[in-house]
């Protein structure tokens, strides 16, 4: 069965550079979530999209932006990267979350800022 695809799997960037992370949800899923997991930390919600509109916003820095495109894939754009942005970034997709639904997570993109 198709799963959530994230690319790239690994990314190394220098401070002050920009990075773009991509997420391809499971077909027919209409909701995408982005999470950031720092070393030894639990995943922190960044932002979510439902039907290509931002549905919720968490602790996403102003340097980051995201969008969901007409084909439902999503991109997380990160500018002016800082060392503290080094983390595992997860994307998840679901049908509008509620009872009897579940969020499927991708394998994550490991971003290292040097």
- Token digits for 30? 């209409």
Nearest to 110 by CA among 74, 85, 79: 85
The set of residues, in sequence order, having a beta carbon less than 8 Å from that of 68 and lying 6+ positions away, is: 32, 49, 52, 53, 74
CA angle (24 as vertex; 84, 91 as ends), nearest 5 = 35
Q: In the 8-state DSSP scheme, what is residue 100?
A: T
Which residues contact another protein (rule: CB under 8 A)?
Answer: 30-31, 33, 42-45, 48, 50, 55-56, 58, 90, 92, 96-108
In the complex, the smallest distance separating the C-beta of residue 36 from another protein, rounded to whole angstroms, is 11
Nearer to another protein by Cβ, of 18 and 112: the residue is: 112
In the complex, the smallest distance separating the C-beta of residue 63 from another protein, rounded to whole angstroms, is 20
In the complex, the smallest distance separating the C-beta of residue 16 from another protein, rounded to whole angstroms, is 27
Nearer to another protein by Cβ, of 45 and 61: the residue is: 45
Nearer to another protein by Cβ, of 64 and 90: the residue is: 90
């Amino acid at each position: 069965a198709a799963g959530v695809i994230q690319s790239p799997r690994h990314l190394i960037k220098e401070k002050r550079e920009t990075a773009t992370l991509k997420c391809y949800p499971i077909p027919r899923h209409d909701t995408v979530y982005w999470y950031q997991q720092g070393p030894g930390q639990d995943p922190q919600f960044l932002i979510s999209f439902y039907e290509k509109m931002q549905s919720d916003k968490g602790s996403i820095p102003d340097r980051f932006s995201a969008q969901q495109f007409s084909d439902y894939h999503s991109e997380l754009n990160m500018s002016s990267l800082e060392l503290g942005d080094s983390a595992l970034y997860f994307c998840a997709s679901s049908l509008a979350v509620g009872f009897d639904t579940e969020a499927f997570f991708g394998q994550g993109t490991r971003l290292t800022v040097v």
